Amino acid sequence: MNRAEFAARIDHTVLGPETTWDDVKAVLDAADTHGMNACIPPCYVAEAAEYAPDVTLVSVCGFPHGQAALETKEFEAERAWQDGADEIDVVLNVGRLRSGDTEAVAEELACVVAAVPLPVKVIVEAPLLEEAELRTACELAAEADAAFVKTATGFTDGGATVEDVRVMAEYLPVKASGGIGLPRTPSRCWRPAPSASVPPRASSWSRGTRTARSDYSRAYSVASPSSFWAAPNTAPSATASPVATVPSTSYCQRFVPMR
């Protein structure tokens, strides 16, 4: 993997409660310079789309606790799309999941996914879940036709673990976030798959007054537009293996698949 390919799999992120437009601009400038993507608060998406039209924008809904009403999450996702977002990260309602109200969780995820013609990642807050709960969360995300599952918001104790990612990768590609550590070199973590010729699935959509295009695959980590992902273990001839987290310097989240 060369430098450009590595950078294209990084979400440079700023999602703090005190985030200012200057903070967002700094992240966008760095993302534009180095070929990364940017994950930013919804209130800045429209300005960001105008300020950095070549940067892939990720935004969030129901963030960070996931307990907004279904209609609120739908509206947040739709508004972010209309403002220029390329991807949406939605936080699953952990309280409803843990209390056994899986029908409400399933309905909510399905509605958010259906609300926008964009890749939707479901943040499951894995550090808060037992394995059985984590599996249920991933099953619901897959049934809702989400594009990916994501380990955590970073607003709870604990971070991504290899064990959680292995479980999650049985269902959908995984974005590992929270508790990110930096390996000495990317080459120690990234090992090219034996067969890298599998074509990704293409998805295109309207982005405000312009057209955005994202090439990604639900089965192969090499195709993600935002980060490094683990391929579902059930995918035929899947060539990627579980994700190990890489850095969290400043607001940067990076992800590297590992064998």
Known catalytic membership, residue 25: no
Known catalytic membership, residue 121: no
Of 11, 83, 86, 89, the active-site residue reads 89
Plot region of 178 (φ>0 → left; ψ -120 to 50 → alpha; else → beta): left
Angle CA(110)–CA(111)–CA(116) in degrees, nearest 5? 105
Plot region of 68 (φ>0 → left; ψ -120 to 50 → alpha; else → beta): beta
Cβ(216)–Cβ(119) under 8 Å? yes
Of 150, 157, 164, 215, the active-site residue reads 150
In which order are the strands placed within the sheet that holds 57-61? 174-175, 148-150, 120-123, 87-91, 57-61, 37-39, 10-13, 252-257, 243-245
Of 11, 83, 121, 175, the active-site residue reads 175
Strand pairing class (37-39; 120-123): unpaired
What distance in Å separates the CA atoms of residue 94 and residue 196, rounded to the nearest whole number? Answer: 36
Known catalytic membership, residue 73: no
Amino acid at 206: S
What phi, psi does 120 have (nearest 5°)? -115, 130
**Catalytic residue positions?**
89, 150, 175
